[in-house]
Amino acid sequence: MLRLFNTFGKKLMLFRPVKEDLVTIFTCGPSVYQRAHIGNFRTFLFEDILVRYLEFSGYKVRRGLIFTDIEDKALLEADKKHKSVQQLTDKNIREFMEEMKLLRMKTPDYLPKASGSVNQVVEIIQRLLERKVAYWHKGNVYFDPLKFKGFGKLYGLDMLKWPKKKVRFHKDTYPGIQWNLGDFILWHGYRKGEEACWDTIIGKGRPSWNIQDPAMISRYFNETLSVYCGGIDNLYRHHDYTLAILESIRPYAMARFWLHCHHLLVNGRKMSKSKGNIYYTDMLSREGYSMQEVRFFLIYEHYRKDLNFSVGNMASAVSGLREFRRNVLAIKRRASSSEAEDSALSEKILKTFSGQMDNDLSVRDAFDGLHAILAGLDLRVIRQSEAAGIIKALKKIDEVLQVIF
């Protein structure tokens, strides 16, 4: 039975969806002011594995993912490149969707853009203002965390450290992994010369980053989500904000499970433009790696561990995959066109895979377990129908991994 590490409570828990027949998932999407790099795709691939394994386990899944196409960074980047915000972000969204296909990622059921959420944002802000959880200040709207009981409960924030003096944070995002102890912005009031603004019943302006996910969730999901996912950095100044906004206007929990994927490092250091160490999928392709091999490298390490990209680490992981696939090819040749037989071997393969994946999606242990089984086979004593059964089992497993065939 599947167990997942729930950030809310910080422990492994037996997975039970809110509805028996449907798992609802919402995942933080990319900020499309720039192109997604392999660190971003690590998180999205972990989420892809989650969705695929839930379906492998018999669940029906409905998932939403939002494109953050309106935020401070997008406005600044568009201005720097002398483009409209829409021109900039639409291009990056197209490239993201193309790379999703190349990496064999399932397309979520809902892929809204934040710029299409303005009506929902305004509705939520009106309700927060009515409840006096939010307030106006100099043309902006801010959320007061002290008005929400249990603020910071996902992260485990020590509210005793909250400042006595009123502090407001008016940017969408701030650098660093730390907390901004104060009120956070929900609505940017219009500033002269700003292009990306909307005329609404609460005035002219644009939605902040932190209210965009709540707007999209309320648009598509009217119940507690089974799972909410994102990168580990979203535990600071984002997911607790999202939770507080939604639970201020809904009489039920936002999500039952919260899952967070850890960082991808490059030679032990954080990726950044200033360090000149950002990698994209096509850069790895030019190094001779297929997109399946890139996918494998990004899913192989456990999602709750930092993944360190280096030339050596990449080569080592891919070497293991290539050897595995050679073993599969030999079994496939042995099977020829024989009818598949469900044997003890094929059952062992499926049980080895599910046994490790049920342990918080342990892809490495699952893959290594399969690798050991295949490497130990003596094809001379395996019947053709038995070999065909092994291939059938591996194809079922590859509906999740998407790296074998």
Average pLDDT rounded to a whole number, residues 322-328: 98
Reported confidence tier of residue 198, pLDDT bands at 50, 70, 90: very high
Tell me, yes or no, whether 170 and 315 share the same domain.
no
Instruction: Quote the CA–CA distance of 95 and 99 in Å, as a whole number.
Output: 6
Question: Do 128 and 232 fall within a single domain?
Answer: yes
Contact (Cβ atoms closer than 8 angstroms) between residue 39 and residue 386 = no
32 shares its domain with 118: yes
Q: Would you place residue 60 in the very low, low, confident or very high pLDDT band (cuts 50, 70, 90)?
A: very high
Q: Which tokens is 305 given? A: 């561990």
User: What is the distance between the alpha carbons of residues 247 and 334, in angstroms, rounded to a whole number?
Assistant: 57
What is the per-residue pLDDT for 82? 95
**pLDDT beyond 90 at 272:** no
Residue for token pair 């049980």:
351
If asked whether residues 198 and 78 sit together in one domain, one would say: yes
Helix (H, G, I), strand (E, B) or coil at 67: strand
- Report the pLDDT averaged over residues 55-79: 97
Same domain as 257, residue 120: yes
Q: Which two tokens stand for residue 293?
A: 């091999």
Residues 306, 37, 66, 133: is their CA dihedral positive or negative?
Answer: positive
Pairing verdict, β 255-261 and 225-231: parallel
Integer Cα distance of 402 and 389 in angstroms: 19
Domain boundary among 261, 279, 295: 261
Predicted TM-score of the model (pTM): 0.96
Mean of the pLDDT values across residues 229-257?
97
Name the amino acid, one letter, at 233. D
Q: Considering the domain boundaries, does residue 173 fall inside one?
A: yes
User: What CATH number is associated with residue 383?
Assistant: 1.20.120
Q: pLDDT band for 137, please (50, 70, 90 cuts).
A: very high
Evaluate if residue 193 carries a pLDDT over 90: no
Q: Where are the beta strands (DSSP E) in 80-143?
A: 134-137, 140-143
In this prediction, residues 138-154 reach a mean pLDDT of 97
Q: How confident is the model at residue 176 (pLDDT cuts 50, 70, 90)?
A: confident
Same-domain check for residues 66 and 198:
yes
Q: Are residues 139 and 67 in the same domain?
A: yes
Mean pLDDT of 247-268: 97
Residue ranges in 57-83 assigned as alpha helix (H): 72-80
Give the per-residue pLDDT at 335: 93
Location of structure tokens 């999205």: 44
Domain count, the chain: 2
In a domain, 289, yes or no: no
Instruction: Mark whether 50 and 138 lie in a shared domain.
Output: yes
What single string gives the DSSP state of each residue in 299-344?
HHS-TTS-EEE-HHHHHHHHHHHHHHHHHHHHHHHHHTTPPP---H
Using CB atoms within 10 A of its CB, is residue 57 exposed (0-12), middle (13-18) or buried (19+)?
A: middle
Residue spans of alpha helices (H) in 199-300: 212-220, 239-249, 281-286, 291-300
With contact defined as beta carbons under 8 Å apart, do 221 and 26 qualify?
yes
Q: What are phi and psi of 198, to 5 degrees?
A: -125, 140
Q: Are residues 316 and 226 in the same domain?
A: no
Task: State the average pLDDT for the chain.
Answer: 96
In a domain, 332, yes or no: yes
The CATH number covering residue 138 comes to 3.40.50.620
In a domain, 303, yes or no: no
Residue 170 maps to a domain: yes
Task: Work out the pLDDT band at 248, boundaries 50, 70, 90.
Answer: very high
Determine how many CB atoms are found less than 10 A away from the CB of residue 313.
15
In this prediction, residue 389 carries a pLDDT of 96
pLDDT at 302 over 80: yes
Which of helix, strand or coil describes residue 401? helix
Report the length, in residues, of the chain: 405
pLDDT at 296 over 90: yes
What is the percent of the chain with per-residue pLDDT over 70, rounded to a whole number?
Answer: 100
Q: In this structure, what token pair is assigned to residue 195?
A: 């292009």
Per-residue pLDDT, 354: 98
Quick check: 223 and 18 in contact, CB under 8 A?
yes
Average pLDDT value for residue range 200-220: 97
The contacts of residue 12 (CB under 8 Å, 6+ apart) are 3, 4, 5, 6, 360
Tell me what pLDDT residue 195 has.
84
Q: Which amino acid is at 364?
A: R
Residue 125 lies in a domain: yes
Cα separation, 381 vs 20, whole angstroms: 44
Q: In what order do the strands lie in the sheet with 269-270?
A: 269-270, 264-266, 307-309
Looking at the structure, tell me whether residues 320 and 254 fall in a common domain. Answer: no
Lowest mean pLDDT among 89-93, 152-156, 301-305, 334-338: 334-338
Q: Tell whether the model's pLDDT for residue 21 goes beyond 90.
A: no
Q: Can you give the residue range of the structural domain that contains 331?
A: 311-401
- 199 has pLDDT over 80: yes
Same domain, 147 and 39: yes
Residue 273 has pLDDT above 90, yes or no: no
d(CA 264, CA 295): 13
